[in-house]
Amino acid sequence: MTAFAFVFPGQGSQSVGMLDAWGDHPEVLRAVQEASDSLGEDVGRLIKEGPKETLALTTNTQPVMLVAGVAAWRVWRAEGGALPAVVAGHSLGEYSALVASGALTLAQAAPLVRFRAAAMQEAVPVGTGAMAAILGMDADRVKAGCAEAQAAFAAGSGEVVEAVNFNDPAQTVIAGSKAAVEKACEVLKANGAKRALPLPVSAPFHSSLMKPAADKLRERLAETTFATPQIPVVNNIDVAVEADADRIRDALFRQAFGPVRWVECVQAIKARGITTLVECGPGKVLAGMTKRIDAELTGAPLFDPASLAEAKALLA
């Protein structure tokens, strides 16, 4: 079998009924039950029935995306799928990757990501933070535009805008205070960006405004037992593989208020001699990014029985 990587999506790929295609697969039912038991609520019903607005609440989105990614992973393994050479996850998806690697159990990770989500939401009141996707401009110019926009505000104003998700060579997400993000969108469009799209999110994830949330998360991480990963996990914040529990905790702490260096993560995976990345979980966002990051790479989704069969055939 061809050497390959598994990558796990984060917030934004959720949808009502996203596990329906698996039917009553025992591994999916088991994953949903484990998460439900650890959270004290019916996660399966939330995923199946929504509504969309409830599923989109950060405190719900993070646990349900974790469950969906882990469920797809478990089905892959149960159906004879080989172990990947390396795993990674985009933002929240890094927690799914850690579960796949054996560093965390799903029962540990589900309450942890819900805590992370709640801390993030509390750090910045709804409506005061924002995020936007900048399309058709390279990352260095986006960073320069953010600096230009922030400089338009008085020192000590508290207005912040930063590049936080480096998704592909022509797509960078910015985040910060609402006024500063709006100003940056104006500046970046004037400087040549094709589009500046406000994102429907409730907090400025991965920006420095998330530091209070990260401090709370650090305390929770200190209480969490991590096993040694059995599969290398490329982390977002350092584009590094860590085996030591304290270093994994520190990376997750810093990831909460630091950028997702996804382009570099994919490049690091390619540097290991891997050319196929399977996106394990709902949607096809990361599979699309893979091809845009490097045309020599193949990105394949895995979210239902049909795509599982296609991924198996691709890797045979």
Query: Checking phi first, is residue 26 left (phi over 0); if not, alpha (psi -120 to 50) or beta?
Result: alpha
**Can 91 be counted among the known catalytic residues?**
yes
Distance CA 221, CA 200 (A): 28
Distance CA 197, CA 185 (A): 8
Candidate list 13, 36, 91, 307, residue with the active-site label: 91
| Number of other residues whose CB lies within 10 A of the CB of residue 116 | 27
- Residue 242 has φ and ψ, to the nearest 5°, of -120, 140
Candidate list 13, 90, 101, 206, residue with the active-site label: 206
Question: How many distinct helices (H) and strands (E) make up the chain?
Answer: 13, 9
- Nearest-CA neighbor of 265 among 174, 172, 166? 166
- DSSP H or E stretch at residue 144: helix 139-151
Structure tokens at 78: 């149960």
301-314 b/e with 16+ CB inside 10 Å = b? bbbbeebbeebbee
**Can 96 be counted among the known catalytic residues?**
no
Structure tokens at 80: 């004879």
Long-range contacts of range 267-272, CB-CB < 8 Å, 24 or more positions apart?
267/293, 267/294, 268/234, 268/239, 269/5, 269/7, 269/86, 269/88, 269/234, 270/294, 270/296, 270/297, 272/3, 272/85, 272/86
* Catalytic (active-site) positions: 91, 206
